[in-house]
């Protein structure tokens, strides 16, 4: 109101439009909070609609199908999860080795995320869109494009994704990474968090991932 009065005094006339109104501390009708767990968030789900939940993330080592990093997020958009995922990988001891390639689904795609992976020496293979199940003959047998000159990390990734080697590597996601979540849901039977609050939910997810890894280790050791 003070700024408006000063501007009117300088102009020598009344300003048009609605006059400023003092902020109202009362909640608006569209503002909501979950009284059961106020740290959870409303997120879109794959089946359609929205649910009050958390975003559980897991990084899977392709060859062994072991979970090498996991955490819980309050963010609904997976595009914001690459940086936290990289931080999880950096916590691993050196003797475990370093990630050289990453196969990641379309929900995580952004040029900024491609750059983040490339800067850490990890070749990104992020889907640029949903892959059709029934490709045409032309698409299935198309020749890879020419290697671009002085490519940006994104241009280089697009090129790799169209090579035979790149297609084979990305295809491994469907038989190694995605089944991990299927096993956790269908075999272990974990489909929802039982605890409340980000700290407790994180602990619960740690236990679930540890249980999966123990189960997987037993399988690997025969």
Transcribe 17-46 into DSSP letters: SPPP-PPP-SPPTT----SS-TT-EEEE-T
The residue assigned the tokens 């006339």 is: 13
Rounded distance between C-alpha atoms, residue 74 and residue 202, angstroms: 11
pLDDT tens, position by position, 91-141: 999 999 999 999 999 999 999 999 999 999 999 999 987 666 666 777 777
Q: In terms of pTM, does the model score above 0.85?
A: no
Phi, psi (deg, nearest 5) at residue 66: -90, 145
For residue 28, the model assigns a pLDDT of 74
CA 126 to chain centre: 11
Rounded distance between C-alpha atoms, residue 66 and residue 176, angstroms: 9
Helix axes 153-161, 164-176, angle to 10 degrees: 80
pLDDT tens, position by position, 191-206: 999 999 999 999 999 9
Beta bridge partners of 72: 56
For residue 133, the model assigns a pLDDT of 60
pLDDT tens, position by position, 28-81: 776 677 888 999 999 988 778 889 999 999 999 999 999 999 999 999 999 999
pLDDT tens, position by position, 134-186: 667 777 777 777 888 999 999 999 999 999 999 999 999 999 999 999 999 99
pLDDT tens, position by position, 175-191: 999 999 999 999 999 99
């Amino acid at each position: 109101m003070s700024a408006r009065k000063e501007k009117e005094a300088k102009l020598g006339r009344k300003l048009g439009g609605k006059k400023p109104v003092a902020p109202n501390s009362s909640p608006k009708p569209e503002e909501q909070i979950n009284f059961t767990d106020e740290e959870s968030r409303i997120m879109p789900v794959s089946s359609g609609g929205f649910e009050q939940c958390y975003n559980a993330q897991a990084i899977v080592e392709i060859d062994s199908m072991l979970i090498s990093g996991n955490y819980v997020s309050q963010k609904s958009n997976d595009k914001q999860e690459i940086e936290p995922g990289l931080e999880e990988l950096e916590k691993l001891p050196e003797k475990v080795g370093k990630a050289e390639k990453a196969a990641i689904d379309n929900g995580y795609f952004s040029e900024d995320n491609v750059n983040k992976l490339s800067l850490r020496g990890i070749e990104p293979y992020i889907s640029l869109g949903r892959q059709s199940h029934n490709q045409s003959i032309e698409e299935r047998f198309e020749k890879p494009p020419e290697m671009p000159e002085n490519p940006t990390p994104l241009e280089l990734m697009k090129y790799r994704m169209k090579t035979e080697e790149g297609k084979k590597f990305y295809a491994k996601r469907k038989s190694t990474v995605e089944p991990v979540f299927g096993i956790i849901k269908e075999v272990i039977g974990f489909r929802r968090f039982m605890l409340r609050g980000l700290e407790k939910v994180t602990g619960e997810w740690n236990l679930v991932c540890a249980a999966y890894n123990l189960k997987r280790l037993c399988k690997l050791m025969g």
